[in-house]
Amino acid sequence: MPRQPRRFLPGIPVHLIQRGNDRKVCFFTDRDYIIYLDKLRERSEICGVAIHSYVLMTNHVHLLCTPQCSESISMMVQGLGRYYVRYINSTYQRTGTLWEGRFKASLVSSERYLLTVSRYIELNPIRAGMVKHPGEYPWSSYRHNVLGKEIKLITPHPVYLALGNNERERRFRYQSLFDQYIPDCTLEEIRVATNKAWVLGDGEFKQQIERKLGYALPPFPRGGDRKSNKYIAADKI
């Protein structure tokens, strides 16, 4: 089956996941997390990618980010990946690949899904049973977006900035969103969209992206037109 082409557009947020090869560990010590985040900040600035939310798990990474141009994200991931693999292989006397094939990514509707995806990312350590509260996990943007710890890597998205008139107000209102349960169907919707490189948004958002790209996007409607003579005839067989 052919690979789905990359569909990144300037100014459209992206939820990105990169997993360790065979889902094996890719962060071994605190220093590894620090090195990765430092290089991520450097590469995101060079390539023109704004990072809004992130979490580094032991064997995978989630990012919510917005590119300045269509190639920004791919360039950032490639440059970061090459550096980090060399660092890990040199540090731990290993060889070979560290990450599985291609990273997974989906375009995200700012109006409907951006803050939900941000919470989805920062709640990963909770779902994994690693901590009881997202603030306890040190390798997440929650510390910046809610607790006010300065993380130079983070660039707030306009939707986040619109939560309040000042930083304290924004953090309070964003934190209050964590009191709201994310339905299982929404969690699954986020997972499927990212794994299959689908657009995460309503029909209008998808049509907007299709107009910009100039071609139709999956998922495509299944079956025929139920009102057509061909479909009715087939249904009677």
| Per-residue pLDDT reduced to its tens digit, 5-47 | 567 999 999 999 999 999 899 999 999 999 999 999 999 999 9
| Per-residue pLDDT reduced to its tens digit, 198-233 | 999 999 999 999 999 888 888 876 654 444 454 334
- Non-local (6+) Cβ contacts of 213 within 8 A are 7, 9
Domain boundaries, the chain: 14-235
Rg (CA), the chain: 20
CA–CA gap between residue 108 and residue 93 (Å, rounded): 39
- Give whole-number Cα distances, 60 to 4, 5, 16, 25, 47, in Å: 21, 22, 10, 8, 22
Q: Check pLDDT > 50 for residue 94.
A: yes
| Per-residue pLDDT reduced to its tens digit, 105-145 | 999 999 889 999 999 999 999 999 999 999 999 999 999 99
- Non-local (6+) Cβ contacts of 97 within 8 A are 21, 85
Share of the chain above pLDDT 90, in %: 82
Q: Are 65 and 51 in contact (CB under 8 A)?
A: yes
The pLDDT value recorded for residue 223 is 56
Q: How confident is the model at residue 2 (pLDDT cuts 50, 70, 90)?
A: low
The pLDDT value recorded for residue 237 is 31
The pLDDT value recorded for residue 230 is 45
Average pLDDT for residues 74-99, to the nearest whole number?
A: 95
The pair phi, psi for residue 108, each rounded to 5°, is -120, 130
Q: What is the DSSP letter of 68?
A: S
Q: Which CATH class is domain 14-235?
A: alpha beta
The better pLDDT of the pair 4, 63 is held by 63
| Per-residue pLDDT reduced to its tens digit, 148-196 | 999 999 999 999 999 999 999 999 999 999 999 999 999 999 999 999 9
The pLDDT value recorded for residue 112 is 87
pTM of the model: 0.90
| Per-residue pLDDT reduced to its tens digit, 13-22 | 999 999 999 9
